[in-house]
Structure 1
Amino acid sequence: MFKTTLSLFLFLGIHITHAQSNSSISIEIDSKISFQRIDNIGASSAWFTEFIGKYWSEEQRENMARWLFSKKMDKDGNPEGIGLSSFRFNIGGGTTELGDSSRIKDFRKRVECFLDSNGHYDWNKQIGYLWFVKKAKAYGVKDLIAFSNTQPVFMTTNGLGFKTIKDYTSNLKTNEYGNYAQFLANILSHFAKEKIHFNYISPVNEPQWDWYNNSQEGSPWTNYEISKIVKALDSALVKNKINSKIITPEAGHLEYLYSKKGRAGEQVQMLFNRNSSLDVSKYSHVLNAAAGHSYYTDGDDSTRIAIRKNVRDTAEKYGTSYWQTEYSMLGDNYKEGKKGKVSAMDCALFLSKVIHDDFVYGNAKAWQFWNSVEPGNPDFDTRYFLLALQSSDSTFVSGKVIPTKMLWALGNYSHFILPNMHRIKAVVNNGLNEVQQAKDLMVSAFEDNKQIVVVLINYSNEEKNIHPNITNLKKYSSMTVYLTNEQHNLSKQSISTNTSELQLQPRSIYTIVIKK
């Protein structure tokens, strides 16, 4: 448990040296030194939510919605859910309607399309997905994001939702750019009339991959093609008087944002540079942030940190910022040399470290997990999901949703770091460099005019005694501590005020909320 807490003297910047042990670690937090403003923290709904929202029991659906979206506390002061501030909705391309001829083997990964080849819209499609979108809105999720992996199949070059040749160019027919843009605009307009406003729209996803497979919907795009569809979509949004912002380019991994790797590299330099012929930042509906995915850039600590610094520096050079819009542990880096199964808590700690690095070294303004729910075991190798699905049978029309440590680890950030907070200076003074700290103790802090939120990750196998020192804070009204580890799921901790030290348990994630 969190054995001690801060005294008022510490908040005033006064050190109480007699209460410190020789082995305590100083944590310096300074609210006068601020960095990026946070836009949102969220997750996606894809594939499996269609079946859950459409067929599964009300109890299971409501549990899932509460765990993802609720900002309330239970009677003991523990969060009911992780209070996401963004939620991503997948606009389908019509592979469900194609059935087995879609050539996507897993029927759960086929997605319906609102539009058919005759130009008729059917708004009763994707009702399972939309059940959760409506729940997100009802819970007060700030940002709803619509994203597309493929164009409607009747607009593609091969009539499928994925590529059948490896040429790394878009599957969209060259004469369909305007129609695809209008398709997306019509969806936004329709749901706006139903009081469901999508704040953001993303027309392109992971353009660097060849998408030469039959595992899901997807399409590659060159930078030229991205610029062309963003221009068309911006025009459609202007024409239809839609105020949604366009997110792009959703790079397949972060190095594509600044390096020459792949057929669609240097995307910040190409797409967010006023001197580039492909610049999209000039369009009024484009979000001034380069969107990228943290997949495959989560390896050794040194490389992971360096990549995010490169993203930060490149974005700053070209006058833009960075959104991390998809992440799960696609590679095996999360194992960190471990053999066999990896515990749910170890997965959660690795997730917390990636989030920390994106915020602290990448200056990410938004952070979004990939799929909220997928089939799996909640106790180990929870690399792909926040909530584990256990279907009753192969039809996937009933089953059980189980929360994992990954959910609560994300909640250490998402429940407390609110939109429009700014990240502020937070430093661990233990003599270790950034790479060494990634296996020891990490800290980040965020502030608005009502509170300061501090997230501490004790990645080590040892208890840590820390001595926090928050300067430039004149007063505070309350402090609350929440813990995620093997025994606790974002649980409120009882605290005392008779010492200036805090003791952190091994392999644990703490969030401290200081009300002004």
Structure 2
Amino acid sequence: MRKTGLNRNAIMLLFPILLFGSFVTASPIAPLIDSPTTDSVSIRPVFIDVDTRYQTMESFMASDCWMPNIVGQDWDKKHKENIAKLLFSSKITKGSPEGIGLSGWRFVLGGGSYNQGDSSDISQIDRRGESFMDPQTGEIDWTRQRGQRYFLKKAKKYGVKNFVLFSISPPAFMTKNGKAYSSAGAHANLKEDCYDDFADYMTETVKQINKKYGINFNFISPLNEPQYDWEKPAQEGSGWQNEESYRLIRELDASITKKRLQTNILFGEAVSYKYLLDEDDKPNRGHLIQDFFTSTGKYSLLKFPNVASVATAHSYWLDGDWATLKSIREDVRDAAKSANIRLFQTEWSMLGDHYHKDEFVGFEQASYMDIALYLAKVIHADLAYADVSSWSYWTSMDVDRYNHKNRFLLIELHPKDGVFGNVREGGDYSPTASLWVLGNYSLFIRPGYVRVKMDVNNKDQDVFGTSYISPDKKTLVSVYTNNSEKSQTVSPNLDVSSLRSIYTYTTSAHSKLNEEQQHTSSSKIKLPAKSVVTVKYNYR
């Protein structure tokens, strides 16, 4: 159970600081608010307790659906290298980050609609997934998915160590309707005699990419949103019954063991958190934690050695207001703890039109920064309420069509012939506020950092944040969002005498993770209006 608030004048800050080879304990903290001044009402006290710890962070990710295969294959070298730098570089030059330092990358194993062309029935060319497996012959051609392999190699070059191979649809060659979208409704679009073939295809891909590039996929995620029917040919996909999911996981586990791969299976990819807990309107496609991650579950995976103790879900649909953001995530967190498993949030973008009018201005009026601020809100909720250990954005790059702005992308692509032009002909790109806001987390909260207790005086919910301690206890990172129209000042209870330096990194309509060194004489941090600010405390 989380600790409740304490009398702040009685709190001792127990932060062990590594100093000259020995640990010292900070002195009692001073009152959090200074003597009254004309602007003291805007100062918000913040309580941080590094001895109360929650989840250990593993990664911040994005995926290579769908445009990276086109950009990595057809765009000029300079442009695609700069895009890779924006996604993966952790370097900060003269106060300006080169990129957001993603610590993970999701590589989609396409279903082959790209190979089928117009006969795939998927009309939008850049929503077709390429496959190593020829849909007509079943032969494997490892020269395919060249653009995706480009970004995969770039991710490794920049130091990314967490990779997920995920599937949205089985190869069209193996499906019941010969397509990468489904006509099977709530059931798997996979031939009855192809479960083992599909499993072997996934493991062979992992084996060959590791052999060719030295990239080991930490995880294979074989299913995607099994609660959705995927009957419309808008993109690849398939529904799955729980029994069918279990059957595929069993075959995949056996294939991993047979090939002696150093990879684990991620299970879930639920379309929303609620299906981890119940099945609601999707019979035999929910109750994922109870049915798959407990010893008494109908489809218990505990006996399979290669299944990770992780339930995965997407953060869609239950993100429209604070009350829902908090309640469902806390329920899922508690269920995961009871089952002794971790949680990964594996896909989010600003989908749907269910956002509460009092908490979001609306898509027509929204600026790019308004959308990025909502991204910060969802990340915060997933980290602070669901205790997720890994957080993933959906599409790393795309074109802003239909006035979608940055709802579905981090990097905006500008085709030469306009937004409906042929992306394969090349074009330009621009990083969006969403990229930099994700960077407020991904660039500074590195794998192994642990979330610690942080309370912000925030009845109006305009200002919120979380804090993280590094494994060596030399760095504390706090990420704040100020969603109000006015600047705010936060005052955390930190012993500034033990600090070597303080840096802030601000994203707003006018700033792109701009670095600024703060004086160590005070713990107060100013948060500009409508901004996300990362504070990096370096201890002696």
Checking the alignment, whether the CA contact within 8 Å between 1:19 and 1:500 is kept in structure 2 is no
2:334 aligns with: 313
Matched, 1:408 2:426: no
2:144 aligns with: 125
2:156 is paired with a residue whose SS is: helix
2:407 is paired with a residue whose SS is: coil
Which runs of 5 or more residues in structure 1 are unaligned? 1-7
1:3 aligns with: none
Give, in whole Å, the separation in 1 of the partners of 2:66 and 2:481: 32
Checking the alignment, whether the CA contact within 8 Å between 2:502 and 2:517 is kept in structure 1 is no
Q: CA 1:380–1:92 in 2, change beyond 3 Å: closer, same or farther?
A: closer
2:330 is paired with a residue whose SS is: helix
1:273 is paired with a residue whose SS is: coil
> Once the 2 structures are TM-superposed, how far is the Cα of residue 26 of structure 1 from its aligned partner?
0.8
1:5 aligns with: none
Range with greater deviation from structure 2 (94-103 or 182-191): 94-103
Matched, 1:266 2:257: no
1:470 is paired with a residue whose SS is: coil
Matches for 1:91-490 after TM superposition, within 5 Å = 91-116=109-134, 118-166=137-185, 168-194=186-212, 195-261=214-280, 262-263=282-283, 264-333=285-354, 336-339=359-362, 340-376=364-400, 381-393=405-417, 394-397=421-424, 398-430=426-458, 432=459, 436-437=460-461, 440-448=462-470, 449=472, 450-470=474-494, 475-490=498-513
2:51 is paired with a residue whose SS is: strand
Runs of 4+ in 1 over 6 A off after TM superposition: 377-380
Q: Partner amino acid for 1:67?
A: L
Range with greater deviation from structure 2 (92-101 or 417-426): 92-101
Checking the alignment, whether the CA contact within 8 Å between 2:221 and 2:266 is kept in structure 1 is yes
Which runs of 5 or more residues in structure 2 are unaligned? 1-16, 18-24
Range with greater deviation from structure 2 (389-398 or 415-424): 389-398
> Once the 2 structures are TM-superposed, how far is the Cα of residue 337 of structure 1 from its aligned partner?
4.9
Give, in whole Å, the separation in 1 of the partners of 2:498 and 2:469: 14
> Once the 2 structures are TM-superposed, how far is the Cα of residue 19 of structure 1 from its aligned partner?
5.9
Q: CA 1:474–1:204 in 2, change beyond 3 Å: closer, same or farther?
A: farther
Q: CA 1:250–1:460 in 2, change beyond 3 Å: closer, same or farther?
A: same
Checking the alignment, whether the CA contact within 8 Å between 1:38 and 1:419 is kept in structure 2 is yes
> Once the 2 structures are TM-superposed, how far is the Cα of residue 299 of structure 1 from its aligned partner?
0.8
2:119 is paired with a residue whose SS is: helix
Give, in whole Å, the separation in 1 of the partners of 2:322 and 2:155: 35
Q: CA 1:79–1:20 in 2, change beyond 3 Å: closer, same or farther?
A: farther
> Once the 2 structures are TM-superposed, how far is the Cα of residue 396 of structure 1 from its aligned partner?
1.5
Q: Partner amino acid for 1:395?
A: N
Checking the alignment, whether the CA contact within 8 Å between 1:20 and 1:500 is kept in structure 2 is no
How many residues end up aligned between the 2 structures?
499
Give, in whole Å, the separation in 1 of the partners of 2:404 and 2:369: 8
Give, in whole Å, the separation in 2 of the partners of 1:500 and 1:213: 54
Encode CA deviations 1:284-320: one digit per residue, 9 max, x unaligned: 1111110000011111110111111111011112121
Give, in whole Å, the separation in 1 of the partners of 2:476 and 2:402: 32
- Report the TM-score, using the length of structure 1 for normalisation: 0.93
Give, in whole Å, the separation in 2 of the partners of 1:71 and 1:222: 41
Matched, 1:510 2:533: yes
Matched, 1:72 2:122: no
Give, in whole Å, the separation in 2 of the partners of 1:420 and 1:155: 40
Checking the alignment, whether the CA contact within 8 Å between 2:345 and 2:392 is kept in structure 1 is yes
Q: CA 1:165–1:452 in 2, change beyond 3 Å: closer, same or farther?
A: same
Q: Partner amino acid for 2:107?
A: F
Q: CA 1:119–1:99 in 2, change beyond 3 Å: closer, same or farther?
A: closer
Q: Which has the higher contact order (CA 8 A, sep 6+)?
A: 1
Q: Partner amino acid for 2:516?
A: Q
Checking the alignment, whether the CA contact within 8 Å between 1:390 and 1:399 is kept in structure 2 is yes
Give, in whole Å, the separation in 2 of the partners of 1:170 and 1:276: 21
Q: CA 1:380–1:175 in 2, change beyond 3 Å: closer, same or farther?
A: closer
> Once the 2 structures are TM-superposed, how far is the Cα of residue 323 of structure 1 from its aligned partner?
0.3
Q: CA 1:494–1:319 in 2, change beyond 3 Å: closer, same or farther?
A: closer
Give, in whole Å, the separation in 2 of the partners of 1:378 and 1:515: 44
Checking the alignment, whether the CA contact within 8 Å between 1:13 and 1:469 is kept in structure 2 is no
Give, in whole Å, the separation in 1 of the partners of 2:36 and 2:307: 51
Encode CA deviations 1:390-432: one digit per residue, 9 max, x unaligned: 11132212011110000000000000000011100000135x2
Give, in whole Å, the separation in 2 of the partners of 1:245 and 1:20: 56
Q: CA 1:482–1:444 in 2, change beyond 3 Å: closer, same or farther?
A: same
Encode CA deviations 1:38-77: one digit per residue, 9 max, x unaligned: 1111101112111101111112101110100000011x12
2:29 aligns with: 14
Checking the alignment, whether the CA contact within 8 Å between 2:493 and 2:523 is kept in structure 1 is no
Give, in whole Å, the separation in 2 of the partners of 1:20 and 1:147: 56
1:298 is paired with a residue whose SS is: coil
Percentage identity across paired residues of the two chains: 36
Q: Partner amino acid for 1:490?
A: L
